[in-house]
Amino acid sequence: MTISAVNAEGGFTGSYHTAVTVTDKRSLVSPLKGSQNRKSQRKQPTFGFTVSWTFSNSMTVFVGQCFVDDNGEEILKTMWLLRKEVGSPSADWKATRVGTNVFTRIK
């Protein structure tokens, strides 16, 4: 995941790179858009963002918190909810998935 600098209102954009749904080990990129509590007001802010997957008829929303460890490294802990398109109300039961992620900065 790559995100831009957070603007004064707490908004940010970026891209989410995933190889979860591909078999040839290449990363697919999808846009993301989100917002967080302003850093100037919170040391370890909460945030949320949405990814509109470019390779499927689905979207995922993430909500989480940015923690700063004793070494000053940022760790993003999130919970996510994915919703995919289904063809009918009777298929609704298989349209939603839930999970968690931990993101750390790659150097």
Instruction: Summarize pLDDT for 65-82 with one digit per residue, the tens.
Output: 988 888 888 889 999 999
pLDDT one digit per residue (tens) for the chain, 107 residues: 888 888 888 899 999 988 666 556 677 889 999 998 876 566 788 999 999 998 889 999 999 998 888 888 888 999 999 999 999 999 999 999 999 988 887 65
The domain total for the chain is 1
Query: What CATH number is associated with residue 62?
Result: 2.40.128.30
- Mention every residue, 6+ apart, whose C-beta is less than 8 A from residue 105: 73, 74
Tell me which residue range forms the domain holding 74.
Answer: 2-104
Grouping H, G, I as helix, E, B as strand and the rest as coil, residue 9 is coil
Question: Residue 21's pLDDT is what?
Answer: 60
